[in-house]
Structure 1
Amino acid sequence: MRPPQAIHNWQMDQKADLNQTEQKPQYISAFRALSGYIRLHLWAFIGVFCCTLIAILSELLQPFLMKIAIDDNLLAGKNDYKGLLVICAIYLALSLSSFVFTYLQSNLLQHIGQSIVARIRNQLFGHIMKQSMRYFDRMSSGSLITHVSSDTEALNQFFNQVLLSLFRDGLTLIFIIVMMFQLDTTLALYCLILLPIISLVAIAFRSFMRTTYQLARTRLSRMVAFVAENLSGMNLIQVFHQQMEQEKQFNERNGSYFKANIREIRTNVVFGRTFDILSNLSIAFVTWIGGSAVLDHNLEFGVLYAFITYIRQFFQPINTITQQWNTLQSATVAVSRIWTVFDSKPDITDRAEQREVLLPEKVKGRIDFDDISFSYEEGIPIIRKLDLHIEPGELIGVVGTTGAGKSSLISLLCRFYDVKEGRIRIDGTDVRDIPQSTLHRVVGLVQQEPFLYSGSIIDNVRMFDESITREEVIQACEFVGADSIIQKLRNGYDTLLSERGSGLSAGERQMISFARIIVFKPKILILDEASANLDSHTEKLIQNALHVVSQNRTTIVIAHRLSTIMQADRIIVMSRGEIVEQGSHKQLLACGGHYRELYEHSQGHVAV
């Protein structure tokens, strides 16, 4: 569930991207970024070019054939039926050729585009998965979702629409001009007078179309952010009966987006009709100039007919290319944003030439925090000179008020972040010298909100690792006491869970996460407030499961409920990033310090 602040951040990201587009479109860098992928399909692109060339020539030679039929046969009075049949046969062959090669060109280019986009999408997702936790702290999930889905889709449209238009329509324009000069140089020069006029119209509309396009996209992002925020906070909306108010606000945003869309459509219609008017005026101009030449016997009628046909075809590719401006702009911004993600480097990396210094099967589980200091931001310390040593197999409870640094301590042990000072060692080895893949096999983490994926219970326990058998999963669930719960489900272990395991209660999800620990056998186990927000019955089940999974493991339990860690070998009390007390439950109560205050507060009365 995304908090409202994240929604706001995502919305601001969208606005910032649009502003970036408006200020400095980075076309050169965008195409340069794609060039490496395009080179992988060089021969396929050559095939597209050849198919496009043949298709265009097949289409543009048809008016030239009509010119031959009119001037060299009909108006010449030859009445050569055989010659006309030959021309008709060639015309039909050209039409079929245009159809076939246009089909091949479109399908080949689609295949190239889809292959490149799929490759980029895979690499982008894989790159995001390799980022450190600090990256996700500063990047909203909405922005990352936009990069993987919307930005890659914009890139897909670049290949489907823009690149196809540049290939086909660009070559069509060139060949039409060549054919015009081939027919009559003087009339072709008159037609070229239209090019500056067309360019001015296109430039004028391009600026206005960009503004309307950006306005529509901005208002769409606002509406999407508003909907996402309402869905995530639906319980509050219903409790406080805010449905009517939220519907009113949505209608305002929806109406604003509707107006922006109408404005964009109106702009496109006006632009298209303007080109139609220019096309008709051009035809009238060519008919007047060419008709006068025909009457004066300075120009053949077939040439005039072919010219009029080419003029009609002349405006269509220009119109298409200009209308692809928004798509090109969107794709350029998308490529820039995607490569911004690719340019990000993880803060936490394995050291160069790192060798296997710790074998998971030989780990005993000793943990040493040697005078560590840590802060998320410079000048705001979270942990200060903390020194803690945990023996193999020891069960440690960590308590403290919110902001004491408990979860940060665990994040450092899992190496989601690196310490600023000091070091953390497992069996005497600095965690920075342990490959992350090995470290995460050694250290198992059960969080307050265990994450379950869409899939069967079997796959969620073994995390889709096919090397772990079904029998091992069932044994692990029986071991932690989850088997009786799973057997009550309709399809047992094959029950398909919905997103985040919403078909199960919080306690049932936690039991499955404990079964994961048994399956993957880490020597160090961390429970980050795993019993929070549970009822007393479920908490008892979790405590029993904890007792089972903590056997022969070094276990660290972070808990708000002190009942969870009363039986711990040692309890660590943290405050403002420091250890202020440590000892057993009885020892800490006898001290009458922070722990006793926390305990008596949990019992509902104030310490004396």
Structure 2
Amino acid sequence: MSDAEGKEKHKNRTQHSEATNDTNNTNDTNSQAEPDSDTVTGDHHSKRASFKAMMGYAKPHRWAFAGIFCCSLLGISADLLQPYLVKIAIDDHLAVGQTSVSFLVQLAAIFLGLAVISFIFTYVQNNLLQHVGQSIVSRIRKDLFRHISKMSMSFFDRFHIGSLVTNVSSDTETISSFFTQVLLSLIRDGMMLVLIIFFMFQLDPVLASYSLIVLPVIAVVAALFRHRLRRAYQNARTRLSRLIAFTAENLSGMFLIQAFHQEEEQKKRFKEQNSLHLQANIAQARSNVIFNRTFDILGNAALVMMVWLGGRAVLGESLQVGVLYAFISYIRQFFQPINQITMQWNTFQSTTVSMDRIWNILSTKPEVHDPKPGSMSAMEPRQVMGQIDFNDVSFGYRADRPIIQNMNLHLYPGEMVGIVGTTGAGKSTLISLLNRFYDVNQGSIQIDGTDIRQLPQASLHRIVGLIQQEPFLFSGTIIDNVRMFREDITREQAMEACRFVGADAMIRRLPQGYDTRLSERGSGLSAGERQLISFARIVVFQPRVLILDEATANLDSHTEQLVQHALESVSQGRTTIVIAHRLSTVMHADRILVMEQGVIVEEGSHQELVALQGVYADLYQHAREAGQHSSKLG
């Protein structure tokens, strides 16, 4: 991976999938195979681990589940007593001529009481289950988002943004369906099935035994459909994830698509992705229909058999009419919970796929992690001097493609250092290592003599501040974006920071001033205005080391002057590293480093490097010629 690729990946991750550098990159990304999170290929042990992990979220709610069980038992018992009461009325009263009005009133009152009991406990049960299910899924979603936010940059190189969005939103909703639908079915329908069998054996053990013949057939059908349903659901989820990823990337890069007139090509690619998703959903629906209708046929066949056998018994006077009525009622209800459970089997298959996908994320450990307490170094940010040392550093995004090899570089407290070089030279990779977005393969990076791997990442990022070419602004007010939503930073402190970098006048011209709400990524502001706000953010958090990664690359000359003035103000008393294509940005730096293929080939002040007549002098000459050409065109 080149430095440009590494830099682009870093920007895409921190800016929530910004547009790629060119249309070909966008197309290539869309055509790649889905990452690890989209396709679950784990073994049986992995599936058991994912299911066990998800079930661990239910443990704090065990008393609520006990209440759900009790409510289900009472509600179902009230329902199932009704056919038995009809049997008693037919055989013990109507068949022998006891048809008094008082008996009918009593029977009606009992029926009404049972209906009320069933309604009350079913209502309580459903509300309890919804509360528990939504609480569990809310916690899973919170843990998943927190886990993703702790991942290293290499994680986002492997896992697609679209698939992660699907994990946090769609997959967690599927797990919610498990707790609110599948679990309810297992408790309620399973309990109903057991009680129905109990009542049927109480009525007639012979007919009840015939009814159970169908159970092995149901088990065989479920086993035959299990793998087919799982593959169908897994394929549908994967296609949905790819469709979301494609849509997200194209929306982010829409300006590029329109600039290069790629609308028709992207429509074609979207149609292909949408068609694949449609086919996967149709295959899934077809499997569901076949599965469910098979059980309908089995249920109807069993009912016909029971009516035939029971009818013969009644005609032979070996079975009472009330018993046959109650038995037919129970046999119809007997297949209702079985059918409900088998229908929920489809949801369960989808749930297991989602659980595997989420567990695949949660079980991934960050490659960059905080040091153990015993080896952790304490460093107070305000006491940091800003000495930076790269000691024999080597690094590559892939082991077989090193970008930086055996680099030794030393930056002194309060020094401003410019880094220039052609695309792919390793400039942004150097900065990613200093921010510890990645760990070095060899050597060490030290701040004031302390290896940054011995510092907690939160402390390191308070020490090192980064301003990028496209600063990311969140949806919210300007004041919140300056202080990053931290209430411990006062409004006055944030406003003072804006005044310090020269952004105050610009902000006060806005409709609501500092309370103006920004849309996503601050699209209502110009590039220069967004950059000034990012400078103010740096002033508020006061890092001791300041990094500007192409911070003026997309600015016009007037805005660049404003940003340069802000840079001069912000960099006072801080070790500052400036990466720039525009040499005018680094000409006044204390020292300029020229990089080629991960190696520092020249070093010195602007005058020294021009006098050297080397790589920097060529870059400077090209910049002057480009500037003169632009002036003539103007």
Superposition TM-score tier, normalisation by shorter sequence: over 0.9
Partner of 1:528: 549
CA distance in structure 1 between the partners assigned to 2:150 and 2:343 by the alignment:
39
Partner of 2:444: 423
Return the letter of the residue paired with 1:295.
L
Which structure 2 segments of 5+ residues have no match?
A: 1-17, 21-25, 628-634
Partner of 2:311: 291
User: Does residue 199 of structure 2 align to residue 176 of structure 1?
Assistant: no
CA distance in structure 2 between the partners assigned to 1:520 and 1:350 by the alignment:
21
CA distance in structure 1 between the partners assigned to 2:430 and 2:265 by the alignment:
43
Of 447, 461, 465 in structure 2, the residue corresponding to residue 440 of structure 1 is 461
CA distance in structure 1 between the partners assigned to 2:415 and 2:47 by the alignment:
59
Aligned CA distance change for structure 1 residues 588 and 132 (closer, same or farther; 3 Å): same
User: Does residue 183 of structure 2 align to residue 160 of structure 1?
Assistant: no
CA distance in structure 1 between the partners assigned to 2:56 and 2:37 by the alignment:
27
Return the letter of the residue paired with 1:149.
S
User: Does residue 163 of structure 2 align to residue 126 of structure 1?
Assistant: no
CA distance in structure 2 between the partners assigned to 1:250 and 1:410 by the alignment:
36
CA distance in structure 2 between the partners assigned to 1:345 and 1:166 by the alignment:
34
Partner of 1:77: 97
Deviation at 1:267, TM superposition (A): 4.6
Of 321, 339, 364 in structure 2, the residue corresponding to residue 344 of structure 1 is 364
| Higher RCO (C-alpha under 8 Å, 6+ residues apart) | 2
CA distance in structure 1 between the partners assigned to 2:232 and 2:365 by the alignment:
36
Deviations 1:300-323 (A, max 9, x none): 111100011011111111112112
Find the residue that maps to 2:507 and give its secondary structure.
Answer: helix
User: Does residue 80 of structure 2 align to residue 60 of structure 1?
Assistant: yes
Partner of 1:487: 508
Find the residue that maps to 2:96 and give its secondary structure.
Answer: coil
CA distance in structure 2 between the partners assigned to 1:447 and 1:510 by the alignment:
8
- Matched residues, number: 603
Return the letter of the residue paired with 1:327.
T
Contact 2:160 2:245 in 1 (8 A): no
Q: What TM-score, normalized by structure 2, do the two folds share?
A: 0.89
User: Does residue 597 of structure 2 align to residue 576 of structure 1?
Assistant: yes
Of 146, 152, 158 in structure 2, the residue corresponding to residue 138 of structure 1 is 158
CA distance in structure 1 between the partners assigned to 2:139 and 2:476 by the alignment:
25
Return the letter of the residue paired with 2:150.
K
Deviation at 1:143, TM superposition (A): 2.3
Partner of 2:5: none
CA distance in structure 2 between the partners assigned to 1:252 and 1:137 by the alignment:
25
Deviation at 1:454, TM superposition (A): 0.6
Partner of 2:39: 16
CA distance in structure 1 between the partners assigned to 2:142 and 2:345 by the alignment:
27
Aligned CA distance change for structure 1 residues 27 and 410 (closer, same or farther; 3 Å): closer
Return the letter of the residue paired with 1:388.
L
Instruction: Select between 255-264 and 567-576 the one with higher mean Cα deviation.
Output: 255-264
User: Does residue 499 of structure 2 align to residue 511 of structure 1?
Assistant: no
Instruction: Select between 86-95 and 443-452 the one with higher mean Cα deviation.
Output: 86-95
Contact 2:37 2:164 in 1 (8 A): no
CA distance in structure 2 between the partners assigned to 1:227 and 1:219 by the alignment:
12
Contact 1:10 1:140 in 2 (8 A): no
User: Does residue 333 of structure 2 align to residue 313 of structure 1?
Assistant: yes
Contact 2:229 2:349 in 1 (8 A): no
Q: What TM-score, normalized by structure 1, do the two folds share?
A: 0.93
Contact 2:163 2:244 in 1 (8 A): no
Contact 1:26 1:332 in 2 (8 A): no
Aligned CA distance change for structure 1 residues 165 and 243 (closer, same or farther; 3 Å): same
User: Does residue 625 of structure 2 align to residue 604 of structure 1?
Assistant: yes
Q: CA RMSD in A?
A: 2.4
Contact 2:38 2:163 in 1 (8 A): no
Aligned CA distance change for structure 1 residues 264 and 429 (closer, same or farther; 3 Å): closer
CA distance in structure 2 between the partners assigned to 1:519 and 1:220 by the alignment:
42
Deviation at 1:391, TM superposition (A): 1.9
CA distance in structure 2 between the partners assigned to 1:293 and 1:11 by the alignment:
62
Find the residue that maps to 1:63 and give its secondary structure.
Answer: helix
Aligned CA distance change for structure 1 residues 54 and 11 (closer, same or farther; 3 Å): same
Which structure 1 segments of 5+ residues have no match?
A: none
Deviation at 1:467, TM superposition (A): 1.0
Find the residue that maps to 2:366 and give its secondary structure.
Answer: coil
Return the letter of the residue paired with 1:39.
K
Deviations 1:137-190 (A, max 9, x none): 222222222221122111111111111111111111111111110110111112
Instruction: Select between 34-43 and 158-167 the one with higher mean Cα deviation.
Output: 34-43
User: Does residue 610 of structure 2 align to residue 593 of structure 1?
Assistant: no
Deviation at 1:557, TM superposition (A): 0.5
Deviation at 1:492, TM superposition (A): 0.8
